[in-house]
Structure formats: C-alpha cells, structure tokens
Amino acid sequence: MQSTVRRRLTAGTPTNDANTLGHELDVVASVRPWKPLAVSAGYAAFVPGAAAKQLSAPDLQHFFYLWLVATF
C-alpha cells in the first residue's frame, strides 16, 4: 500500500521524494443531552508536510465540524 501511495505522490512531480503528508491536531468536545443522542463539536488543524506542500496549498488548514450520533 505504501509504495502505491508513494507512486501517486511522485507521479506529477518526479523530483518529490517526500512521503510525509503532514500532521493533524484534533480537539473534540462531546455532550450527551439524552441517552440515544450524542453531540460532538470539533476543530482540526492540518499542518502540511513536504509531500502535501507539493500537492496542494502549503498553508495551515483549519476545519470545524459538528457531529450528531443517534443510537437505537
């Protein structure tokens, strides 16, 4: 699997020998207002590595999300 990913990363940029896409930090807060429902809100920051900088924007990327989970 890793060699397949490495080939895809270097296909467009033959001089790219980096294989680290980056690092992600997640912060999640969860609450269960009643037993069958959980609500989570989160924030994620993605710090691109050398390989990701050649594939997309080199800047820090931010993500906010809301997650609802119902159990039956």
pLDDT averaged over 10-residue windows placed end to end, the chain, 72 residues: 46 62 93 95 91 77 94 91
Backbone φ and ψ of 35, nearest 5°: -50, -45
Phi, then psi, of 70 in degrees rounded to 5? -110, 130
What phi, psi does 14 have (nearest 5°)? -60, -20
Domain boundaries, the chain: 21-70
Is residue 33 helix, strand or coil?
strand
Helix residue spans in the chain (DSSP H): 2-11, 50-55
| pTM, full prediction | 0.60
Left, alpha or beta for 22 (phi > 0: left; psi -120 to 50: alpha)?
left
